[in-house]
Amino acid sequence: MKQPAVLFKNIQIVTPMPGGPVLSLTNAFVAVAAGEIRYVGQFEDTAVQILKDCGFAEYESYDGRRKILWPTMANTHGHIPMTLMRNQADDAVLHTWLFEMIFPREKYLTPDHVLNGTRLGMAEMIRSGTGTAADMYYYSESVVEAALESGMRLNVCFDGKATGSDGKTHLVRPSLEKFIADCQTYGQGRINPALLVHSLYLYEPDLHRELSETAQALNCFVQVHIAETKREVEESLAKYGKRPASMLAELGYFKSPTIAAHCVHLDDAEREILKAHSVFVAHNPTSNLKLGSGIADVAAMLRAGLRVGLGTDGAASNNNLNLYQEMRLASLLAKGTSGDAALLPADALIEMATLHGQKGLGFERSGCIAVGYEADLQILNADQPAMWPLGEPTSALVYSADAAFVESLMVAGQWLLYKNDLQTLDEEKIKADALRSSARLNP
């Protein structure tokens, strides 16, 4: 892995700070070497000296004029290989979408198709400022393979369930343990394994208890869909007399780090439960609207002290993996549905998309432009009519920026996108492979 030394010069910085406000620094310098941020400030001489002290007398100068340097974003919920089903399942209600459009395609999936779809999704995410993603899908080894190639950080689900001799579904714990060990061995700190818990409604209580006990025993991440639709809540109440988040807690979950996707239909008590267990919420505003699921009350979540990040969900219900659009939409929805235009200001979205999202996926040293953090950053070219004049840089990023203005992106000091060219992925090959795989799902 190539980790050059780079000095970003005369650049506009925007960064959240742990426990502090979002900072905006104009005409600043950032030095990166051996994968970490070494200097952030106003003085070029100091930056150069620090690079020398780290053993980097030679470094690349990156002209930052009319550009914004800020952390890579974290896409906290998605099904990356579903790029293969992009623009093929639209304007349909959830049941039609799932049973008539998605499931008939998914029955043709192979590890090779998943690999091709994941590579495509990662190319798209890197181009639009995302350096870290969560994934919940099948054939996780293929998803991990694409992540190792691309250089992205990944919080990735493993399923590992099988029918036992009793005819019931059980978790095959050794296969999960092997997956976790492999991620730790080969992941270079970039791959965080998670246990897939699709949802309350898909499994019976016995299996849920097995899964929750294993997650706790291994202190393993869990990714789970919670309260995406009203119907899910109604069915949970009918079956268990409890709402989904309450019932999942009762089944023993939330004792290891948990990423709860959607949470569109929570009540106050459930927000308290999630808060008490430090559950991280992945908010997917586009997908929730597009499937007619509703609008999650993020302002209420933040008031309750919950940690919230942003997600795109899969490209079959979005139809892209563009977190700039999710930032903007999340803020607009909070304002428009409450009537309070001051809700979810630009700073809150910057935090959700970067620092909070990275932390939620378990990457504690990403999401902030400060000395000692991993060099996970993106450069946005703001020299565009659509971002002119720049005004407040945080507003510019959330309300006027376009993902296509991202020109460069690095993770752990490695360029994944450099001046509009992908560095780790072969875009033309990926597109050809993905097109072939996509066609195979529509025989």
Distances (CA, A) of 194 to 11, 63, 274: 37, 39, 18
CB-nearer residue toward its own copies: 129 or 309: 129
* Structure tokens, 339: 């009537």
CB crowding 128-164: b at 16 or more within 10 Å, else e: bbbbbbbbbbbbbebbbbbbbebbbbbbbbbbbbeee
CB-nearer residue toward its own copies: 169 or 395: 395
Nearest to 370 by CA among 358, 381, 388: 358
CA–CA distance, 293 with 285 (Å, rounded to integer) = 10
Distances (CA, A) of 283 to 140, 228, 310: 23, 10, 5
State the minimum distance, in angstroms, from the CB of residue 24 to its own copies.
12
State the minimum distance, in angstroms, from the CB of residue 333 to its own copies.
7
State the minimum distance, in angstroms, from the CB of residue 4 to its own copies.
24
- 286 contacts 77 by C-beta, under 8 angstroms: no
State the minimum distance, in angstroms, from the CB of residue 128 to its own copies.
7
Eight-state DSSP code of residue 315: G
CB crowding 238-265: b at 16 or more within 10 Å, else e: eeeebbbbbbbbebbbbebbbbbbbbbb
CA–CA distance, 240 with 69 (Å, rounded to integer) = 49
CB-nearer residue toward its own copies: 183 or 417: 417
Q: Is there a cis peptide before residue 318, judged by omega within 30 degrees of 0?
A: no
CB-nearer residue toward its own copies: 256 or 319: 319
CB-nearer residue toward its own copies: 250 or 427: 427
State the minimum distance, in angstroms, from the CB of residue 266 to its own copies.
17
State the minimum distance, in angstroms, from the CB of residue 22 to its own copies.
12
CB-nearer residue toward its own copies: 9 or 431: 431
